[in-house]
Amino acid sequence: MNKSINKSTAWKKLASHYRWHKNEQMKDLFAKDPKRAEKYTLQLEDLYLDYSKNRIDSKTIRYLLKLTQEVNLKQKIEAMFSGAKINQTENRAVLHTALRNRQNTPVFVDGKNVMPEINHVLLRIKSFSEAVRFGKFKGATGKKLTNIVNIGIGGSDLGPFMAVTALKEYCSKDMTCHFISNIDGSACDDVLSKLDPEKTLFIVVSKTFTTIETLTNAKTCRQWLVDALGEDAVAKHFVAVSTNAEEVAKFGINTDNMFEFWDFVGGRYSMWSAVGLSIALMIGMENFEKMLDGANAMDIHFRNTDFKENIPVILALLGVWYNNFFGIKTHAVIPYDQDLRFLPKYLQQLDMESNGKSVDLNKKFIKYSTGQVIFGGAGTDVQHSFFQLIHQGTQIVPIDFIVPAISHNEIGNHHEILLANALAQGEALMTGKTTKQAVAELTKAGKSKEEISQLKAYKTFQGNRPSNTIVIKQLTPYTLGMLVAMYEHKVFVQGIIWNIDSFDQMGVELGKKLALNILPELKGSSPVSHDSSTTNLINLVKSLRK
């Protein structure tokens, strides 16, 4: 049994280093070391990470790197890439990296090389997506299928939704893509009301093919299609992506129209598989493969690069530093790119579903903090909403700013204004504004002594608030692949340090089960075995619906 990480020498060193270092001002660290930015910038091709605006010095990094030795990170990375069953609670390998193993080196699970199956499905994605895009695979009435509807939820929705939005510039202009995830009937209605059944292709994405939201939404969509075009049209308008052929057939989709994926691909790590079929349909297979190439480049970097220059490892360690030593529970991701506005939502699942755990791999309750609350949104929008708290609130929120240097829409000077804002935020958070500076500004603005005394405290910014700046040359399928894989590996490293299974999600199951108990009660039967609040609420909702 491994010793708990918070009992390790590296952890204790970090704890005492924190006590000594916690009041250190980043401003002073920059003044002391003119090479600080250079020293704390990493690069992989067109992706740069400047992590100099963090509350760290070389000792912090040294001690954090010691943590990676305590947990045998190197060996754990190898275990993941080589197909070991590191998803301990479900006894499964974790091989999203094999989905983008562009070198096609063999990867074995239970003695079987998984690459031939992965390549076979990639070829099927290619031929199907091309057939639809070039109008060879047509709808039942002979029309080109130009509206794609992805029906799925969680890991079967968030990746494709984020990627199709992010790669809007690469999407076929005569096609549209829609996503139905929520069980709320409005989600179906909003999409179906816009579409022509003759031109619509539904992709039902569900690893298990038992998820009530997806199956209910798929049934509604199927009925909508059958009402318009008849039962025989289903074969031309419905395909499935699943690991469960039996349930796909039961649902009424011919398994010839099913794209397979495997237990070794977790839902939230699955957009690289056939779960990304909608992405391939919208951006074309060549671009889909570029996305895989970008992720593969990050995989190789992560697997082979010394940890002190390893982008995902450094990001993970910084997160551990703030979470476990500063006691910070949140982390914001702010892309300065409109098309990346759903990346924070995607990362919310990736990170919080993976590392929101409180029992370790030794089946023990954990006594240190794991996971972080991830939130965010597109800059500059969020500067005008929650950034007040980030600049002057009582809690510190570390941020990742994601900044593409070149835009696909260099209209007027929009992009320069956007970039200026992105870079200014990190600077403002770090330097802050002293009361003396605030007074000088107020004086310059012609304020009276009384006004200055009234306002100076409110105009002061403490600063010393940390951020990473991740610059990419441009948002492309390749750089998107790099970015997403970077975060996947960050989450992995943190899971290893916290000694948790980052690849199960048992926490989402309890509520699902209880919903199944309540459903018949809403339909008529009397509520049984609930607390009095839940019983009252069931009765209240029933009476309001009468």
| Min separation Cβ 208 and ligand G6Q, Å | 3
Q: Which of 235, 270, 227, 341 has its CA nearest to residue 278?
A: 270
Residue 384 bears catalytic tag: yes
Residues in contact with 307: Cβ distance below 8 Å, sequence separation at least 6, in sequence order: 65, 68, 73, 74, 313, 314
Residues in contact with 324: Cβ distance below 8 Å, sequence separation at least 6, in sequence order: 6, 11, 14, 368, 369
Q: Does 266 sit near ligand G6Q (CB under 6 A)? A: yes
Q: Which amino acid, one-letter code, is at 326?
A: F
| Min separation Cβ 323 and ligand G6Q, Å | 22
- Residue with smaller CB distance to ligand G6Q, 220 or 421: 220
Residue 391 bears catalytic tag: no
Q: Does 154 sit near ligand G6Q (CB under 6 A)? A: yes
- The interface with ligand G6Q within residues 188-207 (CB under 6 A) comprises 206-207
Compute the distance between CA of residue 255 and CA of residue 235 in angstroms, rounded to an integer.
10
Q: Does 153 sit near ligand G6Q (CB under 6 A)? A: yes
Q: Does 155 sit near ligand G6Q (CB under 6 A)? A: yes
Compute the distance between CA of residue 221 and CA of residue 204 in angstroms, rounded to an integer.
10
| Min separation Cβ 503 and ligand G6Q, Å | 8
330 phi, psi to nearest 5 deg: -125, 160
Residues linked to residue 193 through DSSP beta bridges, in sequence order: none
Give me 73's structure tokens.
Answer: 């990170």
Give me 344's structure tokens.
Answer: 């924070």
Q: Does 267 sit near ligand G6Q (CB under 6 A)? A: yes
- The interface with ligand G6Q within residues 301-360 (CB under 6 A) comprises 353
For ligand G6Q, the binding residue among 101, 211, 287, 494 (CB under 6 A) is: 211
Instruction: Annotate each residue in 103-132 with x if it binds ligand G6Q (CB under 6 A) or - if it does not, as one string.
Output: ------------------------------
Phi-psi region of 107 (alpha: psi -120 to 50; beta: other; left: phi over 0): beta
- Residue with smaller CB distance to ligand G6Q, 118 or 215: 215
Contact 378, 341 (CB under 8 A): yes
| Min separation Cβ 281 and ligand G6Q, Å | 18
How many positions of this chain bind ligand G6Q (CB under 6 A)?
A: 14
Q: Does 208 sit near ligand G6Q (CB under 6 A)? A: yes
- Residue with smaller CB distance to ligand G6Q, 51 or 503: 503
114-143: b or e for each residue (b if 16 or more CB lie within 10 Å)?
Answer: bbeebeebbeebbebbbebbeeebebbeee
- Residue with smaller CB distance to ligand G6Q, 46 or 157: 157
Q: Does 505 sit near ligand G6Q (CB under 6 A)? A: yes
Residues linked to residue 225 through DSSP beta bridges, in sequence order: none
Q: Which stretch binds ligand G6Q (CB under 6 A): 159-167, 208-216, 322-330, 524-532?
A: 208-216
List contacts with ligand G6Q (CB under 6 A).
Answer: 153-156, 206-208, 211, 214, 266-268, 353, 505
Which sequence positions are flagged as catalytic?
353, 384, 512
